[in-house]
Structure 1
Amino acid sequence: MFDIFRKHTKIMMVLLVLLIIPSFVLFGIDGYQKMNQTDTIVAKVGAIEITQAQWDAAHKNDVDRLRASRPELDVKLFDSPQARYATLERLVRDTVLQVAAEKSSLITSDARLARFLQEDPTIASLRRADGKLDMERYRQLAASQGLTPEGFENTVRQDISKQQVEAGVIQTGLLTTAPADVALNAFFERREIQVVNFLARDYAATVNPSDADLEAFYQANVSQFKAPEQAQVEYVVLDIDAVKKDIKVPEADLRSYYEQNVARLSGNEERRASHILINAPKDAPAPQREKAKAQAESLLQTVRAAPDSFADVAKKNSQDAGSAPKGGDLDYFGRGAMVKPFEDAVFAMKKGSISELVESDFGYHIIKLTDVKEPKQRSFDELRPGIESDLKNQQAQRKFAEVAELFTNTVYEQSDSLKPVADKLGLEVKTVAAVTRQPAPGASGVLASEKFLAALFAADSIEKKRNTEAVETAVNQLAAGRVITYNPVKTLTLAEVRQQVRDGVVAARATELAKKEGAEKMALWQKAPEKAVLPSALTVARDQMQNLPAQIVTAALRADAKALPVWQGVDLGSAGYAVVRTNKVVPRDEASQPTAAQDRAQYSQWWTAAEAGAYYASLKEKFKVAFLVSQPSQNVTTLP
């Protein structure tokens, strides 16, 4: 489609200049840039519009956060249409809740914001030993989300307001025991049944189809016997590793980095302590806390008078069940492992000393510092491989954008081959046969990317065999490919699929025979139950399937309890047929259910979640939510 540009480059340049310069004069540079922006509207919340650009940016932020927090995950898993649509749904939900908060005047005050930030574990981890917030690390936390500290706080403020919108539903979603037990007893009800199976596989040996049978089945199901379109393709991939392999870090830079970061790279100080704990939860009544404090002060006087008795006193008196048997020993730990008051005390003590009383949310502690493990400074040679890898990664990240532009331009400008870009950037051209439009089961790398496969199977790519554009297949990864040979969808002949057709005929006939005999037996046994030869009874429930198909258990539980015993015929689909005799109801023995309280709590959560979902649905209707893009199917189907 770009042949005219390639053949008449000079003419097209003149035309472009004549068209573009007046646009700058009429609209200005800013207007011209805005014309380039992706402003397609993908969803609306009333008058508020969510654009494609906002959607793309939000999804990229989600993927970046996942990549930072869970580096072991393959972020390409989140590049599917379903994952992208989930991001759009989240954007819409956030917008709905924000609008609802504003309409209800649910404003988060400065005091509430400050209290929330103080209690947040992530923010707490940024505090220095003196308890003050490390502002540099705080700025880094905000920057990791693309925000200033003020922007981060505003985001948190909005999140708190949005939480208040649903809080009225969620916090009042309490269900009393009686209705919960009615539902749970019905759900967990058990029934005694006897089952006779008539399985298709047991009848397969009796089926011997003729050639005419095979021909008739083939003609009736010809759409099932198609070979999918396939292509032989070649492709190249540009990623961080490809950029990194050409980077050389000078020895002087490695040594300079070592000297500046040796303390951090060598590890952190660890301390070993023992403690005696007297429990006094922060929400306990004042008299109880005073009594606990008095007991702790008495024990403190005891160990101060005889420091060597600390372990024995801890064994006899400490209320920390985990450490008391070990004389209060907590082993070695670093900063961030203990609650803040405890940690502050430990890291301010000298080896062998005993603390004053330390109050935490758990109660009162008496601490003895038993050892200090200073980090051992590691040599340059020990750390050199890691330092070199870190610096190469940093440089590769900075250089990737430059190389990516060269990659993109080259695959476009020399579109009849991938060899020029491979030679220029030192990439490998890979060739793969039998590539299909959808990712093959177990596919990995760029061939698992639906976006890349869509570019390969675009009409222009198939017809002209030119390079695809550079496609972003993962974070910091571009790929380009070209079709070498293409085979469209074709119907396979009966000779090519004869065995497959025969298997289909045998399976269908065997299923018919199984269902026929099963239905006949059920009719007979309903009239003359004494003629039935039944296996031993089983007790089944929704959570006790006894390795039976779900259709059998569902049928048994749906049988009218007042009419038992009941005979039922259960269609098992292609597997065959089953005759089920449901004998009696076996009530749920609540006394034997060790998880009864947990079940009620879980049911209450389900009920609350359902109410919250219904409330959100009403808000969507109230604020006129409209999705302007289609929701992708949850299951990706592939041709046989």
Structure 2
Amino acid sequence: MREIRKYVTMALAGVMILSFAGCSMIERTPESIQKTVLAKVGNKKITRADVDLALKPYLEQYKKQYGEDFENKEELKEPLKNMRKQQLEGLVDQEVLLQNKEALDVNPSDEEIQAQVDDRIKYFKDSTGSDDKYEEFVKSYGYDVDSFEKFLKTQAVVSMVVDKIVEGVEVTDEDVENNYNENKSTYTTKAGADVTHLLFAPAKDAKGNVVEGADAAAKTKADAARAKAVSGISLKDLSTSAEFKDSAKYEELGRVSFVDSGMVKEFEDAFKVLPANQVSEVVKTQFGYHIIVNTKVYPNDEVKPLDDTLKGTIKSQLLQQKQQDTYKDKIQELKDNMKVKLYEDKL
């Protein structure tokens, strides 16, 4: 069901991004509030009811969590307002697309639209598992079966218009290569090592202070463990041994860079000069006493080659960005050429 909600949420506002935000309420009836016009696109009015219908699952969640009076809770007003604002912008964009579909040469037949709708309904029914659960799912979004099908028809046309706008947008091999060269650091893994260590931390009291004698005890344990590690016992085995299981903590840190490792200075200074599989001296840091072993050392920076897999990844990312930019420019151009007005002060 979660995946279905994600699918429908994306359809509800083609290019909108949902986030939580607030609602400034005045003393009006719920009915009059729902009739409030929040935007005009040409002669089409978008009301608070339109926005709240699109946000129904989210508003219902607020109601379950905070109660029927959630709209008046001070901490929710700003989040609700922002959420409605972003949904409103999505509905405005949708209406702009619909009113310009002929100008963009999008004139689908009823059969073409119905084919897409049937496909989406099948997806929802397959995902919910039965007709009854499908109807229950539809109702959770504030629709009945017929009105939901009408909604899906609108979304099908919107999708066709968006496809038309980004039609012809492409990414060349040169674009991919330029992006790779300009961002080579992104595809570079710095010199470093696969680091493991065993930590002996001194015991502390309830206030976080080191217990008297605990530092020396931790150092003694670390020295004894190092001697056994040098003899060939792995740090991991030492951490589970009867002698050290109650005093040692073993960690595999994975690949850590020699530069800007994020480790405290004493630890970084020790591991970055340590040959592979050699046991370090006992290293003291603010956390306690460490024994370090680099299971593998990478002495040089490694640049990922521009192979077919990476080319495909970069191409996909660039295409998505180009399509988003093209869409954004076109939707703004369409808005500039028609009457679009948002009344955000009424949210």
TM-score by length of 2: 0.43
Larger radius of gyration: 1
| Larger RCO: 1 or 2 (CA < 8 Å, sep 6+) | 1
